[in-house]
Amino acid sequence: MTDAEAAAAYDCLYSEMKEAYANTRIPATRNWRAWATQFSTTPYVSATHGGRYVMNYSNTMGARAYGEYEEMTEMPRSSVLIKDSFSANADGTLSVGPLFLMEKMGPGFNAETADWRYYMFTPDGSLFGVTGGQNSAGLAFCHECHAAMEDNDHMWFLPEEYRVSN
Ligand code: HEC
């Protein structure tokens, strides 16, 4: 898919995504495109999130620090980063993918994750796992990979060519 095709596919799938994630107990999964700050220009393929097309967003609390990219050192408490996803299937169809979310908790939440709480929701809106809660062990792979970016508070950012310029 070209970037333009990926953007069109995303526009087309968004209402389905929005519906799928409307009923979680996390307010940040409700119609995020309407209120969150968008950091990716168009969907791009993320090898580390299942080879799916993904987009990146932040809530207001996290947007300033996240937008500094490699210059930033720490995300403020209550930052929420949202990565939605979709798959382009071999038969030409598109399908909604999991929703990946990171929330910066207060000091003492979890030293191992630098106080990040990771969430993953499946495309039917149910919780696959959350750090420190349901299926926490099943989400250990999130922080095991993100922790490599210790100097940037476990943030990987996104490929430069897809960054929204601020
Ligand atoms: C093998 C490494 C790896 C694993 C495992 C991984 N991520 Fe990521 N994550 C990345 C990379 C690389 C990026 C940025 C580039 C991209 O999107 O592909 C990223 C970006 C993110 C972002 C945007 C914030 C940032 O770091 O820039 C969120 C939110 C996120 N991942 C959530 C998750 C969650 C939730 C899980 C587990 C279900 C997870 N990730 C598993 C490597 C990983």
Predicted confidence (pLDDT) per residue in 9-35, tens digit: 999 999 999 999 998 999 999 999 999
**Average pLDDT of the segment spanning 114-122:** 98
Question: Residue 22 class from Cβ within 10 Å (0-12 exposed, 13-18 middle, 19+ buried)?
Answer: exposed
> Mind listing the pLDDT tens digit for each residue in 132-144?
999 999 999 999 9
Instruction: Give the residue, by CA position, lying nearest to ligand 1 atom 6.
Output: 142
Task: Tell me if 114 CB under 6 Å of ligand 1.
Answer: no
What's the CA-to-centroid distance between 142 and ligand 1, angstroms? 7
Share of the chain above pLDDT 90, in %: 97
Instruction: Give the residue, by CA position, lying nearest to ligand 1 atom 22.
Output: 83
Specify the pLDDT at position 165.
81
**Probe residue for ligand 1, chosen from 146, 151, 161 as the CB with the greatest number of ligand atoms within 8 Å:** 146
Task: Tell me if 28 CB under 6 Å of ligand 1.
Answer: no
What's the CA-to-centroid distance between 22 and ligand 1, angstroms? 22
**Probe residue for ligand 1, chosen from 21, 41, 42, 49 as the CB with the greatest number of ligand atoms within 8 Å:** 49
**Average pLDDT of the segment spanning 153-161:** 97
Round to whole Å and give the CA distance between 58 and 141.
Answer: 22
Are 87 and 58 contacting, i.e. CB atoms less than 8 angstroms apart?
Answer: no
The residues, ordered by sequence, that sit 6+ positions from 5 with a Cβ below 8 Å of its Cβ are: none
